[in-house]
Structure 1
Amino acid sequence: MTSQDHPTPTPLTELAGKRAVVTGGSRGIGAAIVRNFLDAGAGVVTSARNPDPDAPSGATFVKADLSTADGVRAFADAALETLGGVDIIVNNVGGVRSFHPVLELEKDWQYTMDVNFLASVRLNAALVPSMREAGGGSIVHVSTTATIAAYPMLYHYAAANAALESYSKGLSTELAPDGIRVVSVCLGNVDTPASKSARGQIVEYFGGDPASTDLDDLAKQWAAEIPLGRLGASQDVADAVSFLVSPRASWITGSNVVIDGGKTASLA
């Protein structure tokens, strides 16, 4: 393809008719991604462990525990039954259940690997055959900058996502002949409901008292360490993901896109 043949930008409806699966789409980053896809004309099936009253309307919600192989399989079956096939997969579900020193990580090691790594592996295995039948598609894995810089208490989360990023690169090479693109997005400190609830745990981990700590002030301190001067917003991530699954990103695969306001670059 020459530069003259490059696809011209298309309007917001560029995902019209596409069939998208987004894990963890009831709130925060996942919900913002779902809204973007719906606005762009896609049909969306999403999951969470429990329904959320603020979840985006217009998507099909499936209650699912993706930390288990059976939960992933049930969700994949429901998505295929609803959509008839899949063109886009966003593996967004992830996180940690608790924080521990590195030598005590075995307490939550298996759960962290199941949610942050194996959930994506299992869902892709279940849905990629449909993508191949459709003649192509795109997959996005949501990861973390904890794989780039060592953050205390997040080593189990970082290790699981490092595995996800390595897997993502390998998968991109294997699926390229099928017209399926695979990328990962590496997120810094994004202000979400989950991150807000974790601030108290983080203070406690370092020996502080969450009840007597101004957690909003803590967020401001973190924001001051970011070159662009603020925490990320869910919409920042959603807009990047929407681009990566669109025809505008047709020559991007195997990449790890860092979205962190310049934080990790400032550490180099």
Structure 2
Amino acid sequence: MILEGKRVLITGGSSGIGFAIARAMLAKGARVAITGRNSERLAQAVRDLRGNGLPVTGVQADVATPEGRSQSLDKAIEVLGGLDVLVNNAGGVRAGRLEKTTEVEIRTMVEVDLVAPILLTQAALPHLRATGDGLVVNVTSGIALIGAPFYATYAAVKAGLARFGEALRRELKGEGVRVLTLYPGATDTPMMQSSKAGPELGFTREPPEAVANALIEGIQASSFEVIRGGEARAKMIAANRDDPGAVDERFLTMKSALEEAVSGHSAL
């Protein structure tokens, strides 16, 4: 897909990976609308993106609610005159032992990370079909590929979103709408600020710009998926498939340190 002139809606676009994707798409000539829950952060993001006179619109909305999804889609279509690309990026996380995770936290992750992108995609599909060259991008996580201890619910919802995208891609094949799944690894974003897990535990953080640039390359190449983490991630995915017990043992050696490092990781 050539992004020049494309009309793009990015949820959770006021910071982190979403903001970096917005900037990268604007640089390719796309017209962009971003959503965010925090009005001040959203306004600052729009100011930053407009710094070079780029065409971007901010929509304050919570896409975990029906009203927020409707407002996001309606405003984007009104301003952009249609929709070519939907980027389901908004998400939240609460790490820690399952027994210590509250029902509210679990339900919030399910609603924000899985239900919201499914329902927003459903609502956006008629508009994406109308272009004849539509695209849905689902931002999941490397944890969707390799389940990590203390991220049980987050792994579940992100893996669910990944399989949703795979099934929808096949459902829509030949109908003018493609689906791409993005699997970021640990990324230096506000969502990761409360996590103390570092490279010694396998959480080597890369800048969000690197993730966004890889996504742009994937879109231009009509890829099905973009997986971050390089050769090390590829080897671990293979090991998790061929000898999952060995991966279990590897996590066991770091389990105590990992639990301590991520017990406060919360961004909901």
Same-fold status (TM-score > 0.5): yes
Q: RMSD of the TM alignment (CA)?
A: 2.0
Kindly state the Cα deviation for residue 149 of structure 1 after the two structures are TM-superposed. 2.2
> 1:158-208, CA deviations, whole angstroms, 9 ceiling, x for partnerless residues?
101111111101110111221211011111111112212x225xxxxxxxx
Give the corresponding residue for 1:101: 97
Give the corresponding residue for 1:177: 174
Give the corresponding residue for 2:195: 199
Question: Contact 1:184 / 1:256 at 8 angstroms: preserved in 2?
Answer: yes
Give the corresponding residue for 1:49: 37
Matched ranges for 1:188-267 at <5 A: 188-196=185-193, 198-199=194-195, 219-222=198-201, 225=202, 230-246=204-220, 248-249=221-222, 252=223, 255-267=224-236
What TM-score, normalized to structure 1?
Answer: 0.78
Give the corresponding residue for 1:166: 163
Structure 1, gaps ≥5 residues long: 1-6, 8-13, 201-217
> 1:79-120, CA deviations, whole angstroms, 9 ceiling, x for partnerless residues?
111112111111111121x33422344342211011111111
2:168 counterpart letter in structure 1: L
Give the corresponding residue for 1:76: 73
Q: How many residues align?
A: 227
- Is 1:143 the counterpart of 2:140 in the alignment? yes
2:208 counterpart letter in structure 1: S
Structure 2, gaps ≥5 residues long: 240-268
| Distance of 2:136 and 2:209 partners within structure 1 | 19
| Distance of 1:191 and 1:221 partners within structure 2 | 16
2:26 counterpart letter in structure 1: L
| Distance of 1:135 and 1:43 partners within structure 2 | 18
| Distance of 1:114 and 1:145 partners within structure 2 | 20
- Is 1:134 the counterpart of 2:103 in the alignment? no
Question: Contact 1:18 / 1:42 at 8 angstroms: preserved in 2?
Answer: yes
Give the corresponding residue for 2:264: none
Farther off after superposition, 141-150 or 35-44: 141-150
Kindly state the Cα deviation for residue 54 of structure 1 after the two structures are TM-superposed. 4.2
1:134 counterpart letter in structure 2: T
| Distance of 2:182 and 2:168 partners within structure 1 | 15
1:62 counterpart letter in structure 2: V
Give the corresponding residue for 1:116: 113
Query: Secondary structure at the residue paired with 1:178?
Result: coil
1:67 to 64, 75, 79: 64
2:217 counterpart letter in structure 1: F
Query: Secondary structure at the residue paired with 1:245?
Result: helix
Question: Contact 1:140 / 1:241 at 8 angstroms: preserved in 2?
Answer: no
2:213 counterpart letter in structure 1: D
Question: Contact 1:90 / 1:141 at 8 angstroms: preserved in 2?
Answer: yes
Kindly state the Cα deviation for residue 220 of structure 1 after the two structures are TM-superposed. 4.8
> 1:225-246, CA deviations, whole angstroms, 9 ceiling, x for partnerless residues?
47xxx52210111112212333
Give the corresponding residue for 2:23: 35
| Distance of 1:263 and 1:193 partners within structure 2 | 24
What TM-score, normalized to structure 2?
Answer: 0.78
2:97 counterpart letter in structure 1: P
2:76 counterpart letter in structure 1: A
2:99 counterpart letter in structure 1: L
